[in-house]
């Protein structure tokens, strides 16, 4: 899924985890889920990373996982398009659950204007 938002804006990203039978999956504290943003898929430099259970949360009511891309996560990044993926690691099992692009568009009110 491709995302587009204004650089420096706060964004809440939410998504369900589903098994092959379309049932919602709740991770354990031993599982890890990573949302990672890089310049492109060949880059080694991580620009933004959110991790479960530290900064990716689970909402028992909706069954969705969610995290927040904070203003400071993107406010110093150049405008443009970046690559991201969401990866699950459970023991030795590793699975990329999704990937896409994030496009940061131009802002009018800069951090220094606030």
21: CATH: 2.60.40.1930
Q: What is the pTM of this model?
A: 0.89
Which pLDDT value is given to residue 23? 85
- pLDDT tens digit sequence for 89-108: 999 999 999 999 999 999 88
Per-residue burial over 42-57, b = 16 or more CB atoms within 10 Å of its CB, e = otherwise: eeeeebbebebeeebe
Count of structural domains within the chain:
1
Domain, as residue range, for 35: 3-113
Query: Which alpha helices (H) appear in 62-109, and where do they start and end?
Result: 71-74
Residue 114 in this model has a pLDDT that exceeds 90: no
Query: If you average pLDDT over residues 49-58, what whole number do you get?
Result: 95
pLDDT at 113 over 90: no
3-state DSSP assignment of residue 78:
coil
CB atoms within 10 A of CB 60: 7
Neighbour-count burial for 4-13, b at 16+ CB within 10 Å, e otherwise: eeebbeeeeb
Tens of pLDDT along 13-50? 999 998 888 888 889 889 999 999 999 999 999 999 99
């Amino acid at each position: 899924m491709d995302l587009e938002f204004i650089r420096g804006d706060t964004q809440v990203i939410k998504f369900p985890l589903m098994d092959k039978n379309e049932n919602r999956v709740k991770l354990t504290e031993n599982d890890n889920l990573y949302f990672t943003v890089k310049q492109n898929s060949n880059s080694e430099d991580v620009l933004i990373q959110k991790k479960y259970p530290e900064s990716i949360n689970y909402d028992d009511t909706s069954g969705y996982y969610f995290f927040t891309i904070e203003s400071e996560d993107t406010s110093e990044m150049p405008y443009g398009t970046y690559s991201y993926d969401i990866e699950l690691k459970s023991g030795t099992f590793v699975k990329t659950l999704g990937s896409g692009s994030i496009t940061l568009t131009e802002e009018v009110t800069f951090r220094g204007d606030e």
